[in-house]
Structure 1
Amino acid sequence: MNIEKLIKEENASIVDVRTPQEFSGGHVSGSVNIPLQELQNRIDDLKQMKSPLILCCASGNRSGMAAQMLSNQGLECYNGGSWMDVNYYQSQN
């Protein structure tokens, strides 16, 4: 799956798994902040979002953990890595 293409064409939901404090310091326009530790309790919310989910964080570590966890729950999702990379792809429209 071409994550960059999904982001550019707005064919996915972007979920930032950083803390609210990190998110408030800068984030991808249109992204939703659901911290990693809250994901398990927000599965129903995530299932309502446009699929697939592109997950991002500061470096790609937390979003990688989130992608593995959500994939195990049956959600189509991808690790987008750093929110700054995702933001860059989105700005290429």
Structure 2
Amino acid sequence: MTTPVVLTVEQAHDRLPGLTLIDVRTPGEYASGHLPGALNVPLDHLPRAVPALKEARQELLMVCTSGTRSATACRVLAGHGVEAVTLAGGTREWAAQGYKLNHPTGAPRSTWSMERQVRLTAATLVLIGLALGLLHPAWQLLSAGVAAGLVYSAVTDTCGMAALLSRLPHNQPRAAALDATLQALSRDARPEGGS
């Protein structure tokens, strides 16, 4: 597996507007603040966007909260023959460096970040396992399984729980919004002066 090329916040900022920005977070995370000009294509919907991304005239910069999901997106695209780079530190680092994040008007209610959703779900499962373990010790295996999953997640820098949570309805883009994003990508892919 290849390691994606990483741009620092300063490098990415200096190269704008010569980059096509793709934010791979959930729609709620995207609405909570994204890089100016970024289009939202959630990571689990990325394969649907591959044809449009292949036609992009500008270099693709994949963005997420911290850089982990965007690095995964780069690897997914590389598997389809599409080159892309990732933003080191993601939107969190972009904002920390003092750069502006856009907040769309009329955006849906803010959804918790994926990291926060994972923390809540993991903690809830651990507490349930411990509480039910008072009734029967076998339930403590639930807590042990979550702990093992968190260790695996930290070691591999992946998160199966986040992948599952991203499929929940509140983390999914509306079909019309994703279609509009793909149309915008297709328009960007047309040659100058093309129709």
Which TM-score band (shorter chain)? 0.7 to 0.9
- The 1:51–1:76 alpha-carbon spacing in structure 2 relative to 1, beyond 3 Å, is farther
Superposed CA offset, 1:54-89 (max 9, x none)? 111011111111011101211110111312434659
Deviates more, 1:64-73 or 1:82-91: 82-91
3-state SS of paired residue (1:58): coil
State which of 11, 15, 18 in structure 2 corresponds to 1:5.
Answer: 11
Q: Larger deviation: 13-22 or 70-79?
A: 70-79
Match of 1:74, as an amino acid? Answer: G
* Structure 1 range deviating more: 2-11 or 33-42: 2-11
CA contact 2:23–2:64 (8 Å) conserved in 1: yes
Moved over 4 A (4+): 86-91
Q: CA–CA distance in 2 between the matches of 1:2 and 1:74?
A: 18
Q: TM-score, normalised by structure 1?
A: 0.80
Change (3 A) 1:47 1:90: farther
- Deviation per CA, 1:9-68: give whole Å up to 9, x if none: 222111100000000000000011100000011111212323321111011111111011
Unaligned runs of 5+ in 2: 101-195
Structure 1 residues 65, 25: CA separation in 2 closer, same or farther (over 3 Å shift)?
A: same
Q: Secondary structure of 2:77's match? A: helix
Letter in 2 for 1:85: E
Equivalent residue, structure 1, for 2:42: 35
Larger relative contact order (CA 8 Å, sep ≥ 6): 1
What TM-score does the superposition give when structure 2 sets the normalisation length? 0.41
Q: Structure 1: where are the runs of 5+ without partners? A: none
Aligned residues: 91
Distance 2:6 2:72 in 1: 19
Could you tell me the percent identity over the aligned residues?
Answer: 29
CA distance in 2, matches of 1:65, 1:14: 15
Greater strand fraction, Structure 1 or Structure 2: 1
Specify the structure having the higher radius of gyration (Cα): 2
